[in-house]
Amino acid sequence: MKIKYTLPIVFVVALVIIEKENNIISRVSDKVALKQTPQNPLQSSGFSTILLKQNGSLTSPSRMKSAFTLMKRRLENYSVHQEVMTRGKKHILLLATTRTGSSFVGEFFNQQGNDMFYLFEPLWHVERMLTLENGGTNATAAAKAYRDVLQQLFLCDFSLLESFIDPLPVDHITNALFRRASSSSLCENSVCSPFIKGVFEPYHCRTRRCGPLNLTMASESCLKKEHRAIKSVRVRQLETLRPLAEDPRLDVKFIQLVRDPRAVLASRMVAFAAKYRNWKQWAMDGEVPIDDDGVKNLKGNCDNIRMSAEIGLRQPLWLGRRYMLVRYEDIARFPMRKAKEMYRFTGIPFTPRVKSWILRNTQASKGASGVYSTQKKSSEQVEKWRFTLPFKIAQAVQKVCGQTLKLFGYKFVSSEEMLTNKSISLIEDKVFNFL
């Protein structure tokens, strides 16, 4: 009789442990289903639904086994938490939007050295899959998926990200990771498997040729690193990342990078010319339809950036002093100073390697620059947009993004003469953080 009741009792205890840990750490209820069905990353099911039938009885032995496996994994994560606390691992999330200089700023951490594991835009795969499956991106579903993937990546767990990679990795091996070469950590000897001629096409990974990426090896390499950093332009609201700040296994610092919305639009009109064809037409016509979807999208982006910054600067209890706001314009004008401030904020040593990279890449010649290049003479990029963006377009941006401009200290222009007058700076001196 004693043997008969052992399994149910242990199972119930396991359920209690799992549910408590689940509630305390992240309130994430559906990522288990995502991992168990990598062919369909959008499938969602509550954790209790996976374990129990509606009448409250225990599920099949296979699901019980799955539950115990999950329990074991989560209990192992407690040891990860202890390692974080004892060894002082840092986790940095660089938040931005497209054309704000995030690739350039991300290199500040990518170049840190052998104790940094840096990932460039891993959420690209999540956004792409959600868009393909739904015919568009649902903001709520996307925010939840982004949060869960980031949480697992900071723990060096690539399994959830794998479920979004297309084609699906085979035996955790993929040739399809978005811009792998933009992450030094994914081009090191430890993860750079030899390519086999006639079997695998060589992947040009920075200064070497590699075979496909083995995500198991990447996970092992990540676990050996002292710190982890991720750059993403896809998270819309800081509030959605609250579970990361409250996760005791992580020590996350959020750095939000912002840029003058007028400069961002000017850059996008060049980089994504086809998508912004209407804006060019409006500039010639002299009228910008404020009710157009493109203008509404711009306003929505500005509002999201502003609201996230307002939350971060307010420093709510759940966020504490984990948030830093940085303007691209300040980095472009004072790259070394701002880089030191960011490193001081994260609590990570500012290495000579980073300093050397900044010196080389903020004084680059014109020939080394390009739309997607991180090698630009940064001081020349600050207000270059003022001589390419038509005044009518600048006015439209000021109308829909006025609150955002004011919060970040960007001055309004009242005439075309003021817009193109180099002697008038459009950047206010402003202090956002108390370091």
DSSP labels, 278-327: HHHHHHHHT---TTSHHHHHHHHHHHHHHHHHHHHHH--TTTTT-EEEEE
Q: What does the chain come to in residues?
A: 435
Confidence of residue 210 (pLDDT cuts 50, 70, 90): confident
Residue 181, token pair as written in the block: 């070469």
Of residues 104 and 15, which shows the higher confidence score?
104
**What distances in angstroms separate CA 48 from CA 29, 36, 140, 149, 429, one per listed residue?**
8, 15, 21, 21, 52
Contact 288, 396 (CB under 8 A): yes
* Nearest Cα residue to 397 out of 307, 327, 301: 301
Of residues 133 and 354, which shows the higher confidence score?
354
Of residues 71 and 110, which shows the higher confidence score?
110
Mean pLDDT of 52-58: 35
The C-alpha atoms of residue 104 and residue 2 are separated, in whole angstroms, by: 64
The C-alpha atoms of residue 381 and residue 379 are separated, in whole angstroms, by: 6
The C-alpha atoms of residue 42 and residue 76 are separated, in whole angstroms, by: 26
Q: Residue 115 has what pLDDT?
A: 93
- Say if residue 132 is exposed, middle or buried (CB neighbours under 10 Å; 0-12, 13-18, 19+): exposed
- Backbone φ, ψ for residue 5 (5° rounding): -100, -5
Q: What is the pLDDT of residues 87-127, one digit of tens each?
A: 579 999 999 999 999 999 999 999 998 899 999 999 999 99
Contact 277, 285 (CB under 8 A): no
Q: pLDDT above 90 covers what percent of the chain?
A: 63
Q: Residue 167 has what pLDDT?
A: 94
Region of poorest pLDDT, from 26-40, 45-59, 342-356:
45-59
On the question of pLDDT at 61 being above 90, the answer is: no
The C-alpha atoms of residue 59 and residue 252 are separated, in whole angstroms, by: 37
Whole-number mean pLDDT of the chain? 81
Spatial CB neighbours of 284, under 8 Å, sequence gap ≥ 6 = none
On the question of pLDDT at 368 being above 50, the answer is: no
Per DSSP, the three-state class of 143 is helix
Of residues 207 and 394, which shows the higher confidence score?
394
One-character DSSP codes across 340-405? HHHHHHHT----HHHHHHHHHHSS--GGG--TT-S-S-HHHHTTGGGGTS-HHHHHHHHHHSHHHH
Q: What is the CA radius of gyration of the chain?
A: 24
Confidence of residue 207 (pLDDT cuts 50, 70, 90): confident
Q: What is the pLDDT of residues 372-422, one digit of tens each?
A: 445 555 667 788 999 999 999 999 999 999 999 999 999 999 999 999 999
On the question of pLDDT at 66 being above 90, the answer is: no
Region of poorest pLDDT, from 15-29, 218-232, 243-257, 322-336:
15-29
The C-alpha atoms of residue 298 and residue 400 are separated, in whole angstroms, by: 8
Of residues 119 and 24, which shows the higher confidence score?
119
Of residues 327 and 375, which shows the higher confidence score?
327
On the question of pLDDT at 55 being above 70, the answer is: no
Q: Residue 206 has what pLDDT?
A: 76
**What distances in angstroms separate CA 71 from CA 10, 13, 32, 326, 427, one per listed residue?**
11, 10, 11, 40, 52
Q: Residue 287 has what pLDDT?
A: 85
The C-alpha atoms of residue 318 and residue 245 are separated, in whole angstroms, by: 7
Q: pLDDT above 70 covers what percent of the chain?
A: 73
The C-alpha atoms of residue 386 and residue 388 are separated, in whole angstroms, by: 6
Confidence of residue 200 (pLDDT cuts 50, 70, 90): low
Q: Residue 240 has what pLDDT?
A: 97
Q: Residue 369 has what pLDDT?
A: 47
On the question of pLDDT at 71 being above 80, the answer is: no
On the question of pLDDT at 8 being above 90, the answer is: no
Q: What is the pTM of this model?
A: 0.79
Q: Residue 98 has what pLDDT?
A: 95
On the question of pLDDT at 86 being above 50, the answer is: no
On the question of pLDDT at 24 being above 50, the answer is: no
Helix (H), strand (E) at residue 230: strand 227-232
The C-alpha atoms of residue 323 and residue 83 are separated, in whole angstroms, by: 23
